[in-house]
């Protein structure tokens, strides 16, 4: 039977393959429209690991002689929106200086702002994780624009150093046992079998100035689409701000170059400086909380491994952001006789502080880091 049917079957198989290949060649080559690539809800838009590459469809709004009502989530996003929108928009920013964006709690006044907004600017990439259900509940069809749209993101752990990979997970076989039932384990980490680490794309994109250049373009595009009468003003302001940011980036690279390469080692409170590491040539040796989110926890094994790594690398400072409790970092620093150095990682300072806008934020942080490492 094999001799009788083998040859015809081989011919039929070959014919089927040729048919499939020809079908692929003549299949329609049109790609989905921009609108069809946009997630259907704000929740989907901000929880995708792969960052969206297009902004949502935006149409002019009826301003009735007034200004465009704009809400920004973080004060970092709000500052960039203010630089471009200027006096042509009515801007409200939800997160005050010092507020941890990972742990934001909605207030009644914030909800009213969201309900009355004509556009909401968010960082995206899951940073505003506590806001996702709220945005999904809004029934005013307000567009939600993720300013980080189009940025080439880092995945959690992608920027870990070789040293961290070797030492950070000693005793990993027991990970999850002592944290079972912790109050932060569950919704955000459901299905991760006790793993309390935040997975996915790193949302802390603002620590690289080129990423905020992307923010600038996205904000100008969105404002111009919603308020075309002022498009020229928005685009002119964006051009001026781009010039300022490009000069800032050159300045920061020159500043870091004053520090020998073997001294550019960082230990931070949580995994927030991956983009700074990538853009400016630092190495993040370890983090007190090995997660992208401050809501995660750490284990005794991880702290012991970090303490060993700090000793091996000769680290002299732990950098802690203004929105994070320094308790664990202070404990480590005391045990190791090193310093805790405050920086601004997830928030601007208030208007009287050294980081009250994005440009000053980046300049202050890099100057502080370089001085501490020298």
pLDDT in tens, 187-226: 333 333 334 444 689 999 999 999 999 999 999 999 999 9
Of 47-51, 55-59, 87-91, 313-317, the poorest mean pLDDT is in: 47-51
**Closest listed residue to residue 302, CA positions, set 311, 313, 289, 314:** 289
Buried-state track 33-51, b at ≥16 Cβ within 10 A, e below 16: eeeeebeeebbebbbbeeb
**Closest listed residue to residue 120, CA positions, set 214, 64, 56:** 56
pTM of the shown model: 0.75
CA distance 132 to 146: 12
Residues, the chain:
374
Query: Residue 26: enclosing H or E segment and its boundaries?
Result: helix 2-26
- DSSP annotation of 128 reads T
CA distance 264 to 359: 22
Query: Which pLDDT value is given to residue 102?
Result: 74
Above 90 in pLDDT, residue 38? no
Question: What is the 3-state secondary structure of 154-205?
Answer: CECCCCCCHHHHHHCCCCHHHCCCCCCCCCCCCCCCCCCCCCCCCCCECCCH
Query: What is the crossing angle of helices 358-373 and 231-257, to 10°?
Result: 10
Terminal alpha carbon distance of the chain = 82
Please tell me which residue, 362 or 306, carries the higher pLDDT value.
362
Query: Which pLDDT value is given to residue 13?
Result: 41
């Amino acid at each position: 039977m094999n001799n009788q049917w083998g040859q015809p079957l081989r011919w039929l198989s070959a014919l089927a393959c040729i048919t499939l290949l020809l079908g692929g060649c003549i299949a329609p080559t049109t790609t989905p429209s921009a609108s069809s690539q946009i997630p259907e809800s704000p929740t989907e838009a901000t929880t995708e690991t792969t960052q969206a590459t297009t902004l949502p469809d935006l149409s002019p709004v009826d301003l009735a002689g007034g200004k465009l009502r704009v809400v920004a989530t973080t004060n970092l996003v709000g500052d960039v929106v203010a630089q471009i929108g200027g006096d042509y928009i009515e801007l409200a920013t939800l997160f005050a200086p010092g507020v941890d964006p990972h742990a934001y709690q909605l207030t009644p006044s914030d909800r009213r702002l969201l309900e009355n907004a004509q556009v909401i600017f968010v960082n995206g990439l899951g940073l505003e994780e506590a806001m996702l259900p709220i945005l999904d509940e809004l029934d005013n069809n307000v567009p939600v624009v993720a300013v980080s749209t189009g940025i080439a993101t880092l995945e959690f752990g992608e920027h870990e150093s070789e040293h961290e990979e070797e030492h950070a997970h000693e005793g990993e076989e027991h990970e999850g046992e002592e944290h079972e039932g912790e109050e932060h384990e569950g919704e955000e980490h459901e299905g991760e079998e006790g793993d309390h680490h935040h997975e996915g794309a790193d949302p802390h994109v603002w620590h690289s100035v080129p990423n905020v250049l992307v923010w600038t373009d996205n904000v100008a595009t969105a404002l111009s689409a919603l308020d075309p009468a002022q498009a020229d003003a928005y685009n002119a302001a964006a051009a001026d701000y781009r010039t300022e940011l490009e000069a800032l980036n050159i300045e920061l690279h020159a500043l870091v170059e004053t520090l020998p390469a073997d001294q550019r080692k960082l230990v931070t409170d949580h995994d927030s400086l991956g983009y700074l590491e990538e853009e400016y040539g630092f190495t993040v040796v370890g983090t007190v909380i090995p997660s992208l989110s401050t809501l995660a926890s750490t284990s005794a094994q991880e702290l012991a491994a970090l303490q060993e790594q700090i000793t091996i690398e000769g680290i002299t400072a732990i950098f802690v952001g203004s929105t994070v409790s320094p308790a664990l970092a202070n404990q480590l620093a005391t045990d190791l006789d090193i310093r805790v150095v405050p920086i601004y990682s997830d928030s601007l300072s208030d208007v009287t502080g050294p980081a009250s806008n994005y440009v000053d934020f980046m300049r202050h942080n890099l100057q502080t880091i370089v001085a501490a490492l020298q």
